[in-house]
Homo-oligomer: A and B are copies of this chain.
């Protein structure tokens, strides 16, 4: 899974915001999530991802894509479909997906 900032290009591009609460226990989550991130990295139109999960099990993952076509291609990826099924059955007590178009972006602080 990614650690830290995603190096995204100038907007516009898309963000898929995935907020989730994990169930108890790993249930192969860590290994599969790491493998999926590697797989996503090799998909055309994938721009990067950012991920944090707190000790209470609530987490935010944001995956960035060039366009809607790249989002749809990734959603239909066979290994990703298998992970989505496992997510619904085993990993998450609740999740929310939001698809958003990034319109502007800036970074800081200056001078560091």
| Contacts from A to B (Cβ < 8 Å) | 3-6, 8, 11, 15, 17, 19, 21, 50, 52-54, 56, 58-60, 62, 87-89, 92-110, 112
Indicate if the CB atoms of B107 and A99 lie closer than 8 Å.
no
Most B CB within 10 A of own CB, among A56, A60, A92: A60
Chain B residues contacting A8 (CB-CB under 8 Å) are 98
Residue of B nearest to A60 (CB): B60
Besides the known contacts A52-B53, A100-B100, 18 further A-B residue pairs in the complex with CB atoms under 8 A apart:
A5-B21, A15-B17, A15-B98, A17-B17, A17-B102, A54-B54, A88-B108, A89-B109, A94-B109, A95-B107, A95-B109, A96-B105, A96-B107, A97-B107, A98-B104, A99-B103, A99-B105, A100-B102
Given known pairs A52-B60, A59-B52, A99-B103, the reply for A5 and B17 (CB within 8 Å) is no
Rounded to whole angstroms, the CA-CA distance of A62 and B104 in the bound complex is 15
Whole-angstrom distance between the Cβ of A75 and the nearest chain B Cβ: 11
Distance A58 CA – B108 CA, assembled complex (angstroms): 14
